[in-house]
Structure 1
Amino acid sequence: MDLTFTPAEERFRVELRAWLADNIPPRWRSRSFWSAIGAAEAFELRRDWERRKYDAGFAGISWPREYGGRGGTPGMQAIYDEETQRAGAPPTVNALGLAFLAPTVMAIGTDEQKRDIIGPMLRNEVIWCQGFSEPGAGSDLAALRTTGVLDGDEFVVNGQKVWTTNAVYADKMFALVRTEPGAQRHRGISMLLIDMRSDGVDARPLRQLSGASEFGEVFFTDVRVKVTDCLGGAGDGWSTAMLLLSFERGASGIAQYTAFRGQFDEIVAAAAAFGRTGDPVLRQRLASRIVELECLRYHSMHILTQIEKGAELGAESSLTKLQWSHTHQELWETFDDLLGPEATLTRPRPDADLRGMQHEAMWSRSVTIWGGSSQVQRNIIAERLLGLPR
């Protein structure tokens, strides 16, 4: 495991850090700013931020130059993840496209798909959402029932997707659709690229306990999708999805560690404000969170070292997803412990604005579900890494 970066990578850090300092408004660094403005305004601010990053040369850090990227090293990507988190930069509005769909298209897309998808995505002209989960197919993704019936050179799609991030804002969706009638489980599934403005697409927001509506449900009624808008080949959607999910689960974890370390400091500051720093039980819980965070950091550097050596992560990506999701969840459970029964109140402390922290605590309940639930990850680890029987 290599814990260092090259001189060129450190020069990139200095350049990026200076640009972030000059371009992030101080008010953006406050949780209360983002929780106070409307969701639509927040989305547009973040979308414009992505455009400015692209114009400045800080988009697609590790993407090949042929696709409009910077052609940087995995170390530069890790530094980008670390520094943007540390600077309080807003999260991307196009994460599902940039982090997961784009590398999949680069790997297995047709020349036309690479031309039409990658550039507009990097320039933030097209926002993508992911259509995997359905009302009866969440962790058991192979149970999906949305169908695509071939009609000439088009698929006619009918069905429903749910828990779709940015469904009401997205321009397009990459969706798993059952395109071979009668096929069971993992067979006969295709990944279709669907225009969200097509006739028959109805995206509706889902209001969460936190008050946010970042998720949506999407209904398809006789939606027509060209055969050429199938990624990875008709009937091969399951293997395409597993490739895509390996990118989702297998990032080094540097960004997560940096974000969680800052969140830990927020929780400690809240404990001090509430006069709880002398509580031995709370102190022990906070100490345990630090240990877990540092374990995540070292694991993240191990994964980064493997990526730099050209290793294929495969099933090992499930280890990363399992570790960071539980680290995040346990961190915010400690925040709930700090508030006690008052954690259920809209305003638990009249003298402190905790809305942003409460939203993060509520959001943390989801991270062991999306991207493959922890139960699924443990099965993958048991079968493919440890060789245990099914």
Structure 2
Amino acid sequence: MDLTYSPAAEEFRVDLRAWLAANIPARWAASGFWASLDEDEAFDLRRDWERRKALAGFAGIEWPVEYGGRGGSPAMAAIHDEELARARGPRSVNTLGLTFLAPTLMAVGTPEQKAEIIGPMLRNEVIWCQGFSEPGAGSDLAALRTHGERDGDAFIVNGQKVWTTSARRGDQIFTMVRTEPGSSRHRGLSLLLIDMHAPGVEVRPIRQMSGVSEFGEVFFTDVRVPASACVGGLGNGWATAMLLLSFERGASAIGQYTDYLRAFEEIVRVAKALGRDGDPVVRQELARRRVELECLRYHSLHVLTEVEQGRDLGFASSVTKLQWSQTYQGLFETFDELLGPDAALVRPTADVDLTALRRESFWTRSVTIWGGSSQVQRSIVAERVLGLPRGS
């Protein structure tokens, strides 16, 4: 495992850190700032800031220059995530497009799709959402029922998606549709790109326990979708979706480590404000979470070393997803235990505004589900990495 970065990567860190210092107002980094804003106001601020970051050359770090990226190394991408978290930069509003769709298009998209979609996505001119989950087809994606019937040079799409992140603000959606009549399970599926403003598309926000509406339901009623909006080949949707999802787990969790360390430090301050910092049980629990964070850090550096040396992570990427999600969720379980019954209340406690931390705590309940549940990840690691026999 290599714990150092190349001179070129460190030079990039210096440039990025300087840009972040000049472009993140101090009030943005204050605890609770983003939680204090109206959802739409926060979204617009983040969208414009990320656009400016892309124009300055600090987005798409590993992307080829021809697509508007920087053509950098995996180490530079890890430094980007680390410095962004350290500076408390705003969360991306276009994560689904940037993380999933863009690299998929680079790999299997048509020349027209690459030219028309990737650049505007990087500059946040077009916001993308993902339509995979359906009622009755969550973890079992192959059970989806949304279908598209061929009509000349288009598909007529009908169906429903649920738990669609950023559905209310999405301009486009990449979604799985059954395009072969009579097909079932993994056969006859296609990945289609659909305009969220097209006639027949309806979005209904889902209000979460935190009070925000990050998710939504999407209904398709006789939506006309050009056949050219198919990615990866007609009927080849399952393989395309697996390629797309392989980008989700990423090469390293350096950025997550930095972000979670910030949350840990805030939780320690809460313990002090509540007068619990002298409680030996609380201290032991906090120490355990700190150790888990350091384990995540060193695993992330190991993974980064592997990628930098050109090794394919393959199924071992499931270890990273499993580790960061469990570490993150565990950290906020400690936060909830610290507050006791008050953990479910979004209001100040002991003269400390915990709105942002409580919202984050609510959010962490989902991280061991999306992107492949922890149960699925453990099965992958057991069968594909450790070679254990499959249970009956």
Do the structures match in fold with TM over 0.5? yes
Structure 1's unaligned 5+ residue stretches are none
2:274·2:350 contact (CA, 8 Å) conserved in 1? Answer: no
Q: Distance in 1 between matches of 2:237 and 2:316?
A: 21
* Alignment partner, residue 79 of structure 1: 79
Report deviation, 1:316.
1.4
* Alignment partner, residue 5 of structure 1: 5
- SS of 2:176's partner is strand
Structure 1 residue 28 corresponds to structure 2 residue 7? no
Structure 1 residue 302 corresponds to structure 2 residue 321? no
Q: Distance in 2 between matches of 1:78 and 1:187?
A: 37
Give the direction of change, closer, same or farther, for the CA distance of 1:31–1:213 in structure 2 (3 Å limit): farther
* Alignment partner, residue 163 of structure 2: 163
1:52-63 to 2 correspondences below 5 Å: 52-63=52-63
Q: Distance in 2 between matches of 1:267 and 1:52?
A: 32
Q: TM-score, normalised by structure 1?
A: 0.98
Post-superposition Cα deviations, 1:52-111, rounded to whole Å, max 9, x if no partner, equal: 102211111111111111111111110000000000100110001111111111111111
Structure 1 residue 253 corresponds to structure 2 residue 253? yes
* Percent identical: 69
Q: In the alignment, residue 143 of structure 1 is paired with which amino acid?
A: A
Q: Distance in 2 between matches of 1:188 and 1:382?
A: 30
* Alignment partner, residue 223 of structure 2: 223
Q: In the alignment, residue 281 of structure 2 is paired with which amino acid?
A: V
Structure 1 residue 236 corresponds to structure 2 residue 236? yes
Structure 1 residue 14 corresponds to structure 2 residue 14? yes
Bigger shift: residues 380-389 or 55-64: 380-389
- SS of 2:93's partner is coil
* Alignment partner, residue 316 of structure 2: 316
Q: Distance in 2 between matches of 1:40 and 1:68?
A: 27
Report deviation, 1:350.
5.1
Q: Distance in 1 between matches of 2:171 and 2:251?
A: 25
Structure 2's unaligned 5+ residue stretches are none
* Alignment partner, residue 207 of structure 1: 207
Runs of 4 or more, structure 1, over 4 Å off, are none
Q: TM-score, normalised by structure 2?
A: 0.97
Post-superposition Cα deviations, 1:206-233, rounded to whole Å, max 9, x if no partner, equal: 1000001011110000111111111111
Q: In the alignment, residue 260 of structure 2 is paired with which amino acid?
A: F
Q: Distance in 2 between matches of 1:91 and 1:11?
A: 24
* Alignment partner, residue 93 of structure 1: 93
Q: Distance in 2 between matches of 1:388 and 1:157?
A: 42
* Alignment partner, residue 110 of structure 1: 110
2:260·2:328 contact (CA, 8 Å) conserved in 1? Answer: yes
Report deviation, 1:348.
5.2
Q: In the alignment, residue 368 of structure 1 is paired with which amino acid?
A: T
Q: In the alignment, residue 227 of structure 1 is paired with which amino acid?
A: A
* Alignment partner, residue 134 of structure 2: 134
Post-superposition Cα deviations, 1:231-275, rounded to whole Å, max 9, x if no partner, equal: 111111111111111110233111111100110000011111111
- SS of 1:248's partner is coil
Q: Distance in 1 between matches of 2:312 and 2:225?
A: 33
Post-superposition Cα deviations, 1:347-384, rounded to whole Å, max 9, x if no partner, equal: 25151110000000000000001111111111222222
Q: Distance in 2 between matches of 1:292 and 1:139?
A: 27
Post-superposition Cα deviations, 1:170-227, rounded to whole Å, max 9, x if no partner, equal: 1101101111122221111111011111111001111000001011110000111111
Q: Distance in 1 between matches of 2:312 and 2:130?
A: 24
Q: In the alignment, residue 275 of structure 2 is paired with which amino acid?
A: G
Q: Distance in 2 between matches of 1:250 and 1:352?
A: 35
1:342·1:348 contact (CA, 8 Å) conserved in 2? Answer: no
2:120·2:126 contact (CA, 8 Å) conserved in 1? Answer: yes
1:250·1:316 contact (CA, 8 Å) conserved in 2? Answer: no
